[in-house]
Structure 1
Amino acid sequence: MSERKAGAEAAGKVPSGNLALFDLDHTLVPFDSGMAWIRFLIRRGFLPADAEERHLAFCRLYVAGTLDIHAMHRSNMQPLLPVPRATLAQWQREFEIEMAPCIPAPSMAAVERHRANGDLCAIVTATTRLIAEPIARLFGIDELVATRPATVDGSPDAAFTGEIDGEPCFRHHKLSRVNEWLAARPGGSRTSLAEFGRSWFYSDSISDLPLLAAVSDPIAVCPDDRLRAHALQSGWPVLDWACASAGC
């Protein structure tokens, strides 16, 4: 349990019955967390310098709307398969420390406003959980709906296979993965998106349109051109907070 969550419970904070969902890359943080992770591993001499260009090629496919997320996941995970899980956990902790100065104040403030209101907060991202977890901790968000790396026997601490466990948290699957997460939450009184009084989703990408359309309060953050046009036409709020890369 995070210190923020423990503090809220100690203060007897009453849940609001509302839900706040946040995309990660180019929404909460003004950069691609997968690229930040690859650069982190390059600096440690674990990956060759050309790993950055390989990742950029996948990013271009994402922008073009033709990304095969399974191929991208395999590319990111394959070099990590021989690495002991304890080593990966240490790298995650070091990555978290390096990313701390890169968290924009406006996005942190938005998370804090929802938390102060008693809203259930979660990050919903196509990024693999291994990379997203350290950044989620920086925001004090315990709930993370991300692309899950598959393991050899299905247990969370087993060796990775390089494949995706279940559906990727990507495009229309984000909506189904959110409802899957809500239905499985221990002690959760609301088991689907429709059961919340209000629900927000903050995102930068047109690929997130299915989940944006499913919440009561969709918010476009530093949106791509197609999402900006759709948001303006639909009367959705458009926030241009901390859109610069922050050098991370």
Structure 2
Amino acid sequence: MTYKLTLFDLDYTLLPLDSDHAWGEFTTALGWTDAQQFRQRNDAFYAAYQAGTLDIHDYVRFATAAVRAHGPQAAQQAQARFLREVIEPAITPQALALVQAHQRADDAVVVVTATNAFVTRPIAQRLGVDELIAVELEQGADGWITGEIRGTPSFREGKVTRVHDWLRARGLDWGDAEISFYSDSMNDLPLLERAAHPVATNPDARLRALAAARGWRVLDLFTPEHKEETA
């Protein structure tokens, strides 16, 4: 039997916001960073991500700086507040229903995101997904994160590599799996092109045009009003 695997990008795919950017805004509101300087750099990194020019290593060093400085206990407390105050209100019934429909069909369901695992693991679990492929953070001798990335970052072509590694760890290869992949972004084109069933989900303008040209399914999971309110 063919192994059915459904992959979901997270930000602007299952969530109507960017969790990494929102985490930065949240920790700034806690007073962990200089608001003006942080927001200028955070917005610049986000613009680079949208343009497909992001240096993921530089971004992760920047994005984890405040967490590293405040230590694991404060970071975990902030993480719980972030999930409760920012993520919970953004989770929609239609996103949960989509995930659950694939689970009921006995698909293996995995969230594949370029956001780091510290931010996204609780979000994936809240969405009912135990399997997460995310940017893994290196830990130092003290057991706390260093700001460096461990292994291949799950970003652009790196998502293909990480999914391949996930399959191989289960004794599978691409030909053994019927893969569906939901994503909003042109950054995910390498993995969309490897999927048997690519789904442009809440797509940006470039991906929407490409999906139309290639005959890919387009899914608008959120209304424009909901995106604007929660982003």
Same fold (TM over 0.5): yes
Are 2:197 and 1:247 equivalent residues in the alignment?
Answer: no
Are 2:124 and 1:136 equivalent residues in the alignment?
Answer: yes
Which stretch has the larger CA shift, 55-64 or 139-148? 55-64
In structure 1, the residue matched to 2:174 is 193
In structure 2, the residue matched to 1:67 is 54
Alignment of 1:15-94 (within 5 A): 17-50=3-36, 51-94=38-81
Which stretch has the larger CA shift, 63-72 or 201-210? 63-72
Residues 220-240 of structure 1, C-alpha deviations (whole Å, 9 max, x = no match): 011122211111111111011
User: Given the superposition, is the C-alpha separation of residues 136 and 16 from structure 1 closer, same or farther in structure 2, using an over 3 Å criterion?
Assistant: farther
CA shift for structure 1 position 145: 0.3
Asked if 1 retains the 8 angstrom alpha-carbon contact of 2:21 and 2:46, the reply is no
Asked if 2 retains the 8 angstrom alpha-carbon contact of 1:102 and 1:246, the reply is no
In structure 1, distance between residues paired with 2:29 and 2:17:
18
Alignment of 1:130-169 (within 5 A): 130-153=118-141, 158-169=143-154
User: Which 5+ residue runs of structure 1 have no aligned equivalent?
Assistant: 1-14
User: Which 5+ residue runs of structure 2 have no aligned equivalent?
Assistant: none
Asked if 2 retains the 8 angstrom alpha-carbon contact of 1:203 and 1:219, the reply is yes
When the two chains are superposed, the root-mean-square deviation of aligned CA atoms in Å is 1.9
CA shift for structure 1 position 138: 1.5
Runs of 4+ with deviation above 3 angstroms = none
Asked if 2 retains the 8 angstrom alpha-carbon contact of 1:203 and 1:221, the reply is yes
In structure 2, the residue matched to 1:174 is 159
Q: How many positions carry a matched residue from both structures? A: 226
In structure 2, distance between residues paired with 1:146 and 1:106:
23
SS at match of 1:18: strand
CA shift for structure 1 position 16: 8.1
In structure 2, distance between residues paired with 1:202 and 1:245:
21
SS at match of 2:119: helix
CA shift for structure 1 position 247: 2.3
In structure 2, the residue matched to 1:100 is 88
Letter in 2 for 1:131: V
In structure 1, distance between residues paired with 2:157 and 2:88:
30
In structure 2, distance between residues paired with 1:161 and 1:48:
21
Give the percent of matched residue pairs that are identical in Structure 1 and Structure 2: 39
